[in-house]
Every structure is written in structure tokens, then in C-alpha cells.
């Protein structure tokens, strides 16, 4: 978000300062945003996890994504990729499913943590194929990836940007991407949809949000600055390096996306049988 924030600052005539609040599920930062004055001077980054997954995963969430947050505009999206250790017996999704069915509970599926998008996307694959795999949650995707390189994790689903260099160097192998279209940076890797699980579509997305009650005129001004930033050459170059796609939108379009994602992830959490509390 830093390149986007810099350009938004120029558009708005004042700097946009990033204040990262690290926490599980992005809860702390989103809670701070929800409690801020709705004057346009405090905005935040809302994504798949903070605005959709957390609703189902946490019984008690200290903010209400629908009542406390006002969408400003979608910013970026990117696919996840299903990868395997380089010497894993399967080289595509079909072979993975066949192997998992033949060896129930033996395939170790790493993830960035319980309730993460990578974890729940893996649960969707398991429930869609009737397979049983062992979930191994880590504190971060990087830790899970490290253990995969060392041979302790068989498969995992993570952002393409986080694992691309490992795929390109041959330290892990890609089995399928999670979006409906193939990823431009991995053109030879099939989608999960075309590999047999029809309609499978999981992408990471995120955008700018504001506290509920922020005046509509302010929301429109912020949205214009955001969309202008997404067209900036420096932002386009930064997005390309991270393998993410710019997704300019109106506030209403961002709101529609959020609402469409909520029931899908609620069903995924239900199928997985996992809750944070």
C-alpha cells in the first residue's frame, strides 16, 4: 500500500501516513479505524480477512464490518497458488486428489494460520473432493514455506507474490492457481476450476475503508484519489513486481464485493469446523 498511499497524498494535498498495527486477522488495526472520528483523516486497509472471513471465524469480533466500516474503494486483488514440495509425488491437482484419497490423513497441508485464507481455501478443496489431509498451521506463510522447502510440509496455498521466487527457482512446484483465470506470471499453471473443481474461485482482495459515518463527499474525494493512484505509473510498476492487479472501483462496487464474499467464507468456516473462540 505504500506506493498507493504516496500518490494519494499528492492527490489530496497532504501526506498519507501508514500506521501498521500487527495482529491476528488484522483485528487491532481495523478496531482502531472503526473507533476513529469519521472525518476522513483516518482511513484504513480492509481486505478479505478483516471484512469477510473474520465475521464467520470470530464469535466475538470487536468491530462490525458492516456497521462500523464504510467502503471507499477496492484497490488490488491477486490469486493464490497451490504449491507442493519439489519431490512430492503429485505434480497437478488431479494427482494430489488421487494421492490424498489413497493416503488419507497423510498429506500435510501447511497454512499461515488457523482461519487464514490459505487454510480455508485448503478446506474448500478437501470438502469439495472428499479428501482428508492434516492441517499444520504456522505463524506465517514464510515459516510454512520454509518447512516445505525442508520437506516437512507437503502442500500449501499462499499468495503468488509470496512464493513466486521459490516457484521460479524450482524449490517448490505449483499445482494450480485459485482464480478462475490463469495468472499472468504463471501462465502454464492451470486453475483449480479447469483442474476439476468447477467454480472454485478464491482471490485475495483489499481496498481503502473509512469509519462509518464519514460524509459521502469525503468518501467520493478519497475514492477519486485512490483510483488516480491506481493509474499512476509508479504504482503500476510496484503492483507488477508484487504480482497483484489494480482494481479501481466505486464505493458501491467495493461494498457489493464484500457482501458477496461473506456467505462463501461463512460456509467455508462451517465446513472446516473451526472457530477462533
CATH assignment at residue 246: 3.40.190.150
Alpha helices in 42-176 (DSSP H): 48, 54-57, 93-102, 117-129, 141-149, 160-168
Per the structure, the count of domains in the chain is 2
**29 plus 60 within the same structural domain:** yes
> Would you say 42 and 36 are in contact if contact means Cβ atoms under 8 Å apart?
yes
Q: Are residues 17 and 51 in the same domain?
A: yes
Q: What is the CATH number of the domain that holds 89?
A: 3.40.190.10
pLDDT of residue 22: 67
Domain for residue 196, yes or no? Answer: no
Same domain for 173 and 82, yes or no, is yes
| Residue 55 and residue 108 in one domain | no
Do both 26 and 51 map to the same domain? yes
pLDDT score of 232:
94
pLDDT of residue 24: 67
pTM of the model: 0.84
| 70 and 83 in a common domain | no
In a domain, 29, yes or no: yes
* Strand-pair partners of 156: 83, 110
Is the distance from CB of 205 to CB of 45 less than 8 angstroms?
no
Residues 8 and 28 in one domain: yes
Does 170 lie in the same domain as 105? yes
Q: Helix 233-242 and helix 2-12: axis angle, to 10°?
A: 160
The residues that bridge with 134 in the sheet, in sequence order, are 108
pLDDT for 269 equals 83
pLDDT for the residue 145: 96
Q: Environment class of residue 194 by beta-carbon count within 10 Å: exposed (0-12), middle (13-18) or buried (19+)?
A: middle
Q: Tell whether the torsion through CA atoms of 207, 210, 211 and 216 is positive or negative.
A: negative
134 and 62 in a single domain? The answer is no
- Based on the domain organization, do 45 and 95 belong to the same domain? no
- Does residue 185 form part of some domain? no
> Does 116 fall in a domain?
yes
Indicate the DSSP class of residue 193. T
Give the pLDDT of residue 192.
97
Residue 197: inside a domain: no
Q: 86 and 147: one domain?
A: yes
Domain annotation covers residue 191 = no
Domain co-membership, 91 together with 36? no
- Structural domain contains residue 277: no
Question: pLDDT value at position 116?
Answer: 86
Domain residues for the domain of 133 are 78-177
Answer whether residue 212 is part of any domain: yes
Place of cell 481496498: 207
The confidence score (pLDDT) of residue 21 equals 75
Looking up cell 464467520, which residue turns up?
56
Question: Which segments in the chain show pLDDT lower than 50?
Answer: none
What is the chain's alpha carbon radius of gyration, rounded to the nearest angstrom? 19
Q: Which pLDDT score is estimated for 35?
A: 94
Amino acid at each position: 500500500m505504500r506506493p498507493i498511499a504516496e500518490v494519494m497524498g499528492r492527490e489530496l494535498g497532504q501526506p498519507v501516513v501508514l500506521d501498521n498495527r500487527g495482529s491476528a486477522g488484522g483485528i487491532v488495526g481495523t478496531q482502531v479505524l472503526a473507533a476513529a472520528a469519521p472525518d476522513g483523516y483516518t482511513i484504513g486497509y480492509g481486505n478479505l480477512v478483516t471484512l469477510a472471513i473474520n465475521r464467520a471465524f470470530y464469535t466475538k469480533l470487536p468491530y462490525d464490518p458492516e456497521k462500523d466500516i464504510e467502503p471507499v474503494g477496492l484497490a488490488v486483488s491477486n490469486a493464490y497458488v497451490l504449491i507442493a514440495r519439489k519431490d512430492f509425488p503429485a505434480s497437478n491437482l488431479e494427482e494430489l486428489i488421487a494421492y490424498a484419497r489413497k493416503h488419507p490423513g497423510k498429506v500435510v497441508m501447511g497454512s499461515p494460520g488457523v482461519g487464514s485464507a490459505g487454510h480455508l481455501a485448503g478446506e474448500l478443496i478437501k470438502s469439495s473432493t472428499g479428501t482428508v489431509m492434516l492441517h499444520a498451521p504456522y505463524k506465517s506463510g514464510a515459516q510454512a514455506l520454509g518447512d516445505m522447502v525442508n520437506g516437512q510440509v507437503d502442500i500449501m496455498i499462499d499468495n503468488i507474490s509470496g512464493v513466486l521466487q521459490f516457484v521460479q527457482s524450482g524449490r517448490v512446484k505449483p499445482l494450480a492457481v485459485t482464480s478462475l483465470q490463469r495468472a499472468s506470471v504463471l501462465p502454464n499453471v492451470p486453475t483449480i476450476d479447469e483442474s476439476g473443481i468447477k467454480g472454485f474461485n478464491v482471490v485475495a482482495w483489499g481496498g481503502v475503508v473509512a469509519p462509518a459515518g464519514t460524509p459521502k463527499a469525503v468518501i467520493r474525494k478519497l475514492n477519486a484519489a485512490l483510483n488516480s493512484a491506481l493509474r499512476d505509473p509508479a504504482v503500476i510498476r510496484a503492483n507488477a513486481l508484487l504480482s497483484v492487479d489494480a482494481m479501481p472501483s466505486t464505493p458501491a462496487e467495493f461494498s457489493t464485493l464484500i457482501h458477496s464474499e461473506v456467505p462463501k467464507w461463512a460456509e467455508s468456516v462451517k465446513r472446516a469446523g473451526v472457530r477462533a473462540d
